[in-house]
Structure 1
Amino acid sequence: MKARYVLLAGIAATSFATVAAAQTTPIQDTPVQAAPAPGEQPADTTATPAPIDGQDDIVVTAVARGTNRLNTSITTSSIGSDALIQLAPRTSGELLRNLPGIRVEASGGDGNANISVRGLPVASGGSKFLQLQEDGLPILEFGDITFGNADIFLRADFNVRTVESVRGGSASTFASNSPGGVINFISKTGEQEGGAFQLSSGLDYREFRVDFDQGGKLSDSVTYHVGGFYRIGDGQREVGFDGVKGGQLKANITKSFDNGGYVRLYGKYLDDRAIGYLPNPVRVTGSNSDPDYSSIANFSINNGTLHSANIRTAQTLDGNNRLTTRSIRDGQHPVVYSAGLETQIPLADDWNIVERFRYADISGGFTSPFPASVDSAQSIANGIGGAGAQLFYASGAQAGQRIADPASLNGNGLLANIVLFDVDLKSLNNITNDIRLNGSLPFAGGSLAVTGGFYASRQDIKSDWLWTSSVQTVADNGRSELVDVRTAAGVPVTQNGIPGYSASFFGNCCRRSYDLDYTTYAPFAQLGLELGRFNIDGSLRYDFGRARGSVAGSDLGTAFGSGITTFDINGDGVISAAERQVAVIPNARSPLDYNYDYLSYSGGVNFRLTDSTAVFGRYSRGGRANADRLLFGPSINTATGGLTDQGAAVDFVRQLEGGFKFRQGGVSLYATGFWARTEEQNFEATTQRFFNREYDAKGVEIEGRIARGPFSLSAGGTYTDAEITRDVLNPGVEGNRPRRQAKFIYQATPQVDFDRVTIGANVIGTTDSYAQDNNVLKMPGYTQVNAFVSIRPADNVTLSVNGNNLFDVKGITEAEEGAIPTNGIVRARSITGRTISAAVRFGF
């Protein structure tokens, strides 16, 4: 086995090769990006296309070289930097909803969005089968690390030139762990001189932000770009404290050579705090098949959150079982220091070597309250303190006072049993390298493109789960308060609103420690034949890797120690009832030690019918190596760290797609039919459930654009028919539609652009779906309308106003319950309600 690995690595290293499927960032890889001759102006590569996939003919993602979109058999779309300015999406997830075929549950704030493509499942969280990249290399090797989803560590600002997506197809062979697709955030590199400075503010929400960028020439052969942002405020929902606070700085410098080569150095610093919105209580009436979701009194589902100025810290034990105080205000807190190198070295004729390298030091945390249950205040009290239990305020202005009438508490009479998801992300560091050789040869009257290369990465996953529990009122606008419970006789059973310094409402589970590293190697190669109107290509990728490290936690079983002890948290010398339920991480650790390997392949044919039309077809098989979500489950032998089932290491996705492309005179239309079969093994933290399934999905994806004079319209829609075809652990759901998978999702952006005024709208919508895989409770479809207007009163000055969710619709993206419970309270996440912002931008 080892000899085979060495042989494959040696072959790849000597042949080098092409970039991994969406590791195709810079357009510098295309012939049009060759370095300019002395004295000539470089190509204007930072000119922004239309907001939604626009007029850029050249595709650089998932192809060996820049290729006309009509000449390739992959499905790709792009969003230009205009979209970041005009649409003003509140988060990166909201921006990505404008990509056809991409399903984004953008209800978690500045990260923690669930992202999928073409009916591939979201059995837990994150983006398991789809990779997010910056400048051609992955942000994280795995997009669904528990409490460390890749989008948490991404901020789209003025540094972004283009966002490109590849859906299905050659993503299987041009990137590791991303068979569903790749979304690549491509940075500006200074070919176009100038920059911008923008001040923006929420008009009906408290957030203040400054953005800037500047790029240009330092000499005839050296360009640079630098940019970033800083912000502060409550964020999209009122919380009574600075729920968002921080910013980002990115910079790069490029030296170009007369022979068309270049070398680029770049870096990024990100330190930003942003609330992570988790499911909140919502009232559901009607029937499961025709439900009506409505906000609870004094708690708005699309504007409220259980975060509060009255609940700012949590005391617990850290990963070394020492007393610590954690800040709930940190929310999703990414801290990233990264640096990279990219170079292109031209060889003889049309051959070149491209090397990409990046090291990222990533840490931070994830802290957010999750309601384990919501019920009437007296029912919650009785469940903790017995019949007739008494309630007292434990925080806020009324701390210590008895709640005499629980039924009228906060106008809704409800309490929530909270499990605080509190995770110390000690290290998600990764180091990534991609080296390749590409070129072409004459062949049978056409040309044969030859590519190949070697990819390597190492991904750390080092984190401690420090969950605690509390009881608090159901109130929005930052007004929620902790509540103490006493028995009918007045004996305290909570301490400052804490029933236990553990995940009390989850059976004291989940006090865990991870110390893991995953190594990935992948030689890959592609041949592409261009013969007349035909373009034919085939590619292979062989991934092999290893998982090493250890984990600790009582969830491993009694042999690894107890997870509960007594500890005098407040230091008063008395052990209270809550201090008898203090979670610890046992000293005994379980090893992780296994290897895996798999082969991916993809082949496609594109035929150019006319100068403006083409048809294509492609079949692919790609794999996704499972990472930390396998742990604490049945697939890992806790004694040896090996696999109990070798098939659990990798999940495969098989895809068939074909379609039609048209582009002429400001009109474009792309239609793709697709079929996918997916294997899925996963773990969901909120429900403590493991999954072992297979899915089928088939459908049609349509995307188009028309531009006539000042008017343009970009639109797209995806119809998906998905089914759970096999479930090892729960056969009763076989034949059902996967949860949260709508039949139809769509987006449209009409825009009118006059000389000094631009007016437009952005419409995002979905039909209904099921909350859970049992296909009982439905989540209604919704249409979200965003609108923007910008005025240019003078050259280089732009005033703009943007309305997000203009009609304040509720858009339920997920729900914990599979049917309406007796009390009619469901825990769900909704898109954020109406927010309006204004900005002034100065160009220079």
Structure 2
Amino acid sequence: MRTITMLRATAASLVILTPASVAHAQSTPLAESTLRETDDATNAGDEILVTGRLGTVAQKKVDASYSITTISEKDLRERAIGNLAEAMQQIPGVWADSSGGVGANNTRVRGIPRGGYESLAVYEDGLPIQHDPGINWINVDQFLRIDETYSGIEAVRGGPSSIFAANAPGGLVNFIPRKGTPQLSGLLKLTTSDYGQIRGDAWLGGPIADGWRFSVGGYYNKDQGIRDPGPAANNGGQGRVLISKDFARGSISFGVKYMEDNNFFFDAIPLVRNGDDLKPLAPFNGHDDTLTGPQDGRVQIKTPDGIRKAQFNLFNQTSDLQFTLKGNTEFDDGTTVSGGFRYRDSTTDRNARGLNSLNTKAAQLSSVRANAVKAFAGRGATDVRLVYNDDGSAYGANANGNGLVGVNTFQSIQNPIKETMGLIELGHVYETGIGRHDVKLGLYGTTADWAHDRNDGVGLTEVAPNARLLDNVAVNAGGQVVGRVTDTGIQRYEARFAHSYGGYEDVAFYISDEWQITPKLRVDGGFRYETIWIHGYSEGVKSFNLGNPDTLADDNVLYGSDVFNRFDPKFSDHSYTIGANWQFMPEAGIFGRYTSTYRLPQIGQYRDNVLPTGIRSQSIEQAEAGVKFQKPWGSLYATLFYNSFKDVQFTNTYIDPASLRIVQEINYGDVSTTGVELEANLKPVRWFDVSATATYQEPKFKNYTYNTIVAGAPVTTSFDGNRPSSMPKVMASIRPRVSLIGGRLRVLGEWRYEGDKFNDDSNLVKLPAFSVFNASAELDVTQNVTVQVKGTNLSNALGLGQGGGQQLVPGAADGAVILARPILGRAVQGSVLFKF
């Protein structure tokens, strides 16, 4: 049965390999855009769009029956957008937090409470970068780096995105690579910054022979990070080659991309809370300090099989090799066929340290004293001390001005994944007595191999920037060290172990129709049916004593038991959408849409040694209505939206202070959201324009309860009516732009506002609202040389991206100190661009 399933999953991938003549210029499949760069920002409504399209006939943004945002090559360069989260911040209805650094950031779309990119499909050149963008510990943003090889972005919010894309209840984002040009052309861009950045981008494109064109480019970057962890925070790059040819009635392209990157993940720091006012705990500077430091490289995770391969001073290590083949053709009767195939082989090593809780020195020593003195009694132990790991000096009661001890999780997580994805679409347009039908049929398939290996240690550090490791040591009456509770800062090796491997196959069929009833009225609909087979094995866990008599850190090590539990679930679901658009004048229209969709489970939910129960597909109901207006001097797109998300799974993770085991609690709840999105542009004169976005939303929990034990008795607590964590009600941005000296000098400003949000689902800790000011200036020194300066967070605002730390009950940290992750502080970046 599984063999048949895998054949189905790969059948669509293989279709593109069959010989065929290729496509008519208007047959633009697989969400491929024909974005055209223009000097007039208001011309965006004239761009031909296909991302999220229900048909194949060319359609402008102003004619669309769903909400879509476009970001051109010019926008990418002027705004110096550096990563996926920063790109998402340009889109109304999307909350994106880039405070984590280059990758592993967080998003929320229209109030849907799914972390990472679980509700947002991310495509490149019309195919998924990763089938499921939100697999635990393998977020899609780890495999996407924005450089000069991209020509633009299209982003659909809600609407029909979940008909054409898997795992896209919130929307679909498509990154469009630059193709070869008729004549040889290229560019070289050199960038530096005040945080030690050295970066080079290059691109070259042109003709080969017989209509074939090439596009080759990439980048290399190295920097210390705005929050300097000691070693280079980011070091790596990517390269891409794209070969393409346009025929009279079709096109074909083949691309290869390879990325190798080490990047630092900025975790939470402690902050002092006074009501809703939060400030960094001394001696932290919230703008550019981080707990992570050079001593993290000393940490080793010891196991019964030896020392775990984990380099904590290299942070997140990611490699991704991607092959893509695409083609399309149009037959004599107007029928179009398009197909795409993608294979990728990637590995992610997540090496990170996260601060979980804080203790006073006295409390920390008290928690281990009795056990340590007993364990080393034969050596004369009478007491315990807290010392620095590097030189053995005593840790003072008021060290760093706070005297606190940090209990940290040192996580070493390895996630290799190989995926094969294929898509074939058949389109046909035909006339009837009552209008034109534009019909599309699609078949999508994926097959993948996946593994998850995790080893976590619990370790002690001081609470200070670039924190040093601490050791608990047992001493005799003379103060001499006779034993160690910890080992190189680690209090317990292997507090969490996971080893799982397997794969999945996914097959989806969809059909859609755009019915142009009259020149002004269009109705569309679509249906998708999808099945995923998830399979694999998860190893059980047992405790080991590694037998080192000099330390207690290895007395209770969790590791694999060599007993494997099989998982083999199958999930199916369907979605449908119906919409209407009334274009009452060429420059204006209104639309409405209802979508019933779903979010299927993913293999990452089976990564731990205790297999989950009750996993189910999650259902989402969405409705939206909008008005569109586009003139040469300005535009306005406004959308009212509603969604109801059923059976949302929430996992709460915490460290049991008694056993030092990491514990997980799974809860389910519902969330409903009502909101409005605005996207506008005004260009009153040729030399000035201003664009703006705004979102107001009201997300609320329903049917969300959890159980805890208080004084030995079960207690049920409800979060009904609460706002999900990391969801501001209000988000807004304004971007004025001035063009001077005949357009050679362009100055762009940005004000971005993020309303208050909660640190957790209990709504006990509120993270205050904040504003950020960014600016950039570009000067064309010559026709071929451009210099740019960009400043981010110019006011050095202490905005908090999201809450960090892990508590048993979300919001337990309602005392004097909480953990949260500030946005990055002020930074200045400069570049010079050479074009020919």
* Structure 2 residue 564 is matched with structure 1 residue 589: yes
The whole-number CA distance in structure 2 between the counterparts of 1:377 and 1:220 is 74
Q: In structure 1, which of residues 89, 92, 96 is the aligned counterpart of residue 88 of structure 2?
A: 96
Q: Deviations 1:150-186 (Å, cap 9, x if unpaired)?
A: 1111111111111111111101211112121111111
Q: 1:728 to 1:775 in 2, by over 3 A?
A: closer
Residue 5 of structure 1, CA deviation: 9.0
Q: Deviations 1:590-624 (Å, cap 9, x if unpaired)?
A: 11111111111111000111111101111111111
Q: In structure 1, which of residues 690, 701, 707 is the aligned counterpart of residue 666 of structure 2?
A: 690
**Residue in 2 that maps onto 1:764:** 752
**Residue in 1 that maps onto 2:315:** 331
Residue 212 of structure 1, CA deviation: 1.0
Q: Deviations 1:753-794 (Å, cap 9, x if unpaired)?
A: 222211111222211112111122111111111110111221
Q: Deviations 1:781-820 (Å, cap 9, x if unpaired)?
A: 1111111011122121111111111111111122246558
**Residue in 2 that maps onto 1:724:** 701
Query: Is the 8 Å Cα contact of residues 51 and 82 (structure 1) preserved in structure 2?
Result: no
Residue 740 of structure 1, CA deviation: 1.8
Query: Is the 8 Å Cα contact of residues 244 and 273 (structure 1) preserved in structure 2?
Result: yes
Q: In structure 1, which of residues 493, 497, 508 is the aligned counterpart of residue 489 of structure 2?
A: 497
Q: In structure 2, which of residues 200, 208, 216 is the aligned counterpart of residue 210 of structure 1?
A: 200
Task: Provide TM-score, normalisation by structure 2.
Answer: 0.88
Query: Is the 8 Å Cα contact of residues 98 and 764 (structure 1) preserved in structure 2?
Result: no
What are the equivalent positions in structure 2 for 1:686-765 lying under 5 Å apart? 686-687=653-654, 688-707=664-683, 708-727=685-704, 729=706, 732-754=718-740, 755-765=743-753
What are the equivalent positions in structure 2 for 1:444-523 lying under 5 Å apart? 444-476=433-465, 479-487=466-474, 489=476, 490=481, 491-502=483-494, 508=495, 510-523=496-509
Q: 1:470 to 1:4 in 2, by over 3 A?
A: closer
Q: 1:86 to 1:303 in 2, by over 3 A?
A: same
The whole-number CA distance in structure 1 between the counterparts of 2:39 and 2:165 is 26
Q: 1:46 to 1:608 in 2, by over 3 A?
A: closer
What are the equivalent positions in structure 2 for 1:598-609 lying under 5 Å apart? 598-609=573-584
What are the equivalent positions in structure 2 for 1:193-272 lying under 5 Å apart? 193=183, 194-203=185-194, 205-219=195-209, 221-259=211-249, 261-272=250-261
Q: 1:61 to 1:300 in 2, by over 3 A?
A: same
Q: Deviations 1:394-422 (Å, cap 9, x if unpaired)?
A: 13xxx22223x231x12332221110121
Query: Is the 8 Å Cα contact of residues 321 and 584 (structure 1) preserved in structure 2?
Result: no
Query: Is the 8 Å Cα contact of residues 520 and 544 (structure 1) preserved in structure 2?
Result: yes
Give the aligned residue type for 1:309: P
**Residue in 1 that maps onto 2:300:** 315
Query: Is the 8 Å Cα contact of residues 6 and 447 (structure 2) preserved in structure 1?
Result: no
* Structure 2 residue 541 is matched with structure 1 residue 550: no
Number of equivalenced pairs: 782
**Residue in 1 that maps onto 2:363:** 379
- For 2:313, what is the secondary structure of its paired residue? helix
Q: 1:822 to 1:188 in 2, by over 3 A?
A: closer
Q: 1:421 to 1:234 in 2, by over 3 A?
A: same
Q: 1:710 to 1:219 in 2, by over 3 A?
A: farther
Residue 483 of structure 1, CA deviation: 0.9
Query: Is the 8 Å Cα contact of residues 141 and 459 (structure 1) preserved in structure 2?
Result: no
Give the aligned residue type for 1:202: S
Query: Is the 8 Å Cα contact of residues 172 and 621 (structure 1) preserved in structure 2?
Result: no
The whole-number CA distance in structure 2 between the counterparts of 1:820 and 1:623 is 32
Identity level (%): 25
Q: In structure 2, which of residues 364, 375, 388 is the aligned counterpart of residue 393 of structure 1?
A: 388
Q: Deviations 1:649-697 (Å, cap 9, x if unpaired)?
A: 3111110111100001231101111110102443547543323111110
Q: 1:734 to 1:820 in 2, by over 3 A?
A: closer
Query: Is the 8 Å Cα contact of residues 265 and 342 (structure 1) preserved in structure 2?
Result: yes
**Residue in 1 that maps onto 2:103:** 111
Q: 1:500 to 1:269 in 2, by over 3 A?
A: same
Residue 538 of structure 1, CA deviation: 0.7
Give the aligned residue type for 2:273: V
Residue 90 of structure 1, CA deviation: 3.9
The whole-number CA distance in structure 2 between the counterparts of 1:675 and 1:740 is 19
Query: Is the 8 Å Cα contact of residues 45 and 60 (structure 2) preserved in structure 1?
Result: no
Query: Is the 8 Å Cα contact of residues 76 and 152 (structure 2) preserved in structure 1?
Result: no
**Residue in 2 that maps onto 1:655:** 622
The whole-number CA distance in structure 1 between the counterparts of 2:486 and 2:737 is 57
The whole-number CA distance in structure 2 between the counterparts of 1:772 and 1:458 is 36
The whole-number CA distance in structure 1 between the counterparts of 2:610 and 2:277 is 46
- For 1:659, what is the secondary structure of its paired residue? strand
Q: 1:676 to 1:483 in 2, by over 3 A?
A: same
Query: Is the 8 Å Cα contact of residues 46 and 191 (structure 1) preserved in structure 2?
Result: no
Q: Return 746-755 or 683-692, whichever deviates more.
A: 683-692
Residue 475 of structure 1, CA deviation: 2.3
- For 2:228, what is the secondary structure of its paired residue? coil
What are the equivalent positions in structure 2 for 1:748-827 lying under 5 Å apart? 748-754=734-740, 755-815=743-803, 816=805, 819=811, 821=813, 824-827=816-819
Q: In structure 2, which of residues 432, 438, 451 is the aligned counterpart of residue 443 of structure 1?
A: 432
The whole-number CA distance in structure 2 between the counterparts of 1:294 and 1:325 is 37
Q: Which has the higher strand share?
A: 2
What are the equivalent positions in structure 2 for 1:121-140 lying under 5 Å apart? 121-122=113-114, 125-140=115-130
- For 1:794, what is the secondary structure of its paired residue? coil
- For 1:429, what is the secondary structure of its paired residue? strand
- For 1:70, what is the secondary structure of its paired residue? helix
